[in-house]
Homo-oligomer: A and B are copies of this chain.
Amino acid sequence: MATESTTDQPTSPPLRIGVALFPGFQALDVFGPLDCLNILSWTHTNMSMSILAATLDPVSTQIPESPHTIGQHVVPTHTFSSPPPLDVLLVPGGLGTRGSPPELLQVIDFIRTVYPSLKYLITVCTGSGVAARAGVLDGRRATTNKLAWKEITALGPNVSWVPRARWVVDGNVWTASGVTAGIDATIAWIEEVFGAEMALEIANGMEHTRHTDPEVDPFADLYGLA
C-alpha cells in the first residue's frame, strides 16, 4: 500500500484538510500548520477544515495526567466515527501521545483506516509516533521530535528514522521534527502543491524566517543525534 501511494499522484488540489485531535495535543503542532492553511484559504476558495476527535466535546491541550498545567480547548467538527472525505490528515504530537488512553487509540485506528484514501499525511513532532503505531510509516523514511527521539523511534521498529532532518518526505507522507518544524514542513508542502510563490507569500505574511533545507537541523546536534 505504501508503495502504491508513492506513485499515486493527486489529480486535483488537496483542499479537504483534517486534523486529528486528542487530549494533551501540542497547541503549536496544530496551529503552526493551520495558520499557514488558514492563510492559504484566503486565496483558495474551495478548502475545508475538519477538526476530528473522539467526540464533539472540546479537546484540551492540557496534559491529562497533570491538572496543574494550563491549556486551551478547541472545538471538533467531526468524530472519528463520522469523518468527512479528506485529502490531507494532519497529526500533531504532544505529551498526550504517551501511553494508550482510549482517545489516542481512536486516533491510531483512524489513521490506519483513513490513510489509504488520503493524498497526504502530515505529522508534526511526536505525531509521527502516533502514525508509526498505526503502521502507516512502515518501510518509510520519517523523523520526529529530537528530544523525544529514543522514546518515539522505539514505537516504529520498521520505520527508517532520519535523525538529522527538519522534516522528511517519503511518498505522500510528510513528517516534521519538533513543534515549530511543523511550520516549515507545511510551508514546504504548500510550495510543492501550490507553488513557490504562494509558499513565499504565506511565510512572509507570517514574518516567518523559514528553514528551507530539510536537512539542516541544529536540534539533531543539540540533542546528540546523527
Contacts and interface: CB of A to CB of B under 8 A. Distances in A.
Nearest to A28: B35
A141 interface: no
A75 interface: yes
Instruction: Decide if the interface of chain A is mainly helix, strand, loop or mixed.
Output: loop
The listed residue with most B CB atoms (<10 A of its CB), out of A27, A147, A205, A211, is A27
A213 B146 CA distance: 25
Given A68-B41, A68-B45, A209 B207 contact: no
Q: Max chain B CB contacts within 10 Å: which of A145, A204, A207, A222?
A: A207
Contacts of A162: none
A75 B58 contact: yes
B72 A34 contact: yes
Interface residues of A, number: 49
Interface string A143-154: 001110000000
Nearest to A42: B69
Interface in A186-223: 204-209, 211, 218-219, 222
A207 B179 contact: yes
Contact of A75 (B17, B73, B204): B73
Most buried by B among A17, A30, A34, A38: A38
Contacts of A209: 180, 209, 211, 218
Interface in A10-55: 17, 26-28, 30-32, 34-35, 37-38, 41-42, 45, 47-49, 51
Given A28-B31, A31-B72, A49-B72, 4 more contacts: A38-B71, A74-B74, A75-B75, A178-B205
20 contacts: A27-B38, A28-B206, A31-B35, A32-B32, A35-B179, A38-B69, A38-B71, A41-B68, A45-B68, A47-B69, A49-B72, A58-B58, A73-B74, A73-B75, A74-B74, A147-B205, A178-B205, A179-B207, A204-B219, A209-B218
